[in-house]
Amino acid sequence: MSLSTLAAFAVANNNAKSASRATKYWELDAVELRSFAKVKDGNRKLAEDGGQALVITLGKVRVDLDAIAPKATRVNATAEQVEEFTGLLEDAIGAGDFDEALLDAAEKLNPANKVANVTDSGVEADTPSDDVLAQLG
């Protein structure tokens, strides 16, 4: 059996993430970023009472909520308030109230802004020096 026989049955994995398809948020302007911002429940586990800690995310980064209150990171909502608060946050995103925070979040996603884990000598910063190893041994 040759590989050409399998060609009729081959499919592409639509769930696979490829670098060419990935959105480069740091290259977008604030208006474009608004469409990628999502309001989500920031709780790791579902609350028994149905309440949620609403957060705005851009990719895997949480967006600062300084437009609501200084240093705010989430909005706590009871089960009855979730739908209303989610709508208010989505409207605020669309109105541009979080544009500055979205641009900051996009920069955090830029791989060029990641700090390397090496020193000037090229040795990893958390590796003990030969002198320290000699003292221990």
Give the pLDDT of residue 20.
47
Give the pLDDT of residue 125.
47
The answer to whether the predicted template modeling score (pTM) of the entire model surpasses 0.85 is no
Mean pLDDT, consecutive 10-residue stretches, the chain (137 aa), reads: 61 54 84 94 86 92 92 90 93 95 93 66 53 58
3-state helix, strand and coil shares in percent for the chain, rounded to the nearest 5: 35, 15, 50
68, 24 in Cβ contact below 8 A?
A: no
Burial (CB count within 10 angstroms: exposed 0-12, middle 13-18, buried 19+), residue 25: buried
What whole-number distance in Å separates Cα of residue 89 and Cα of residue 93?
6
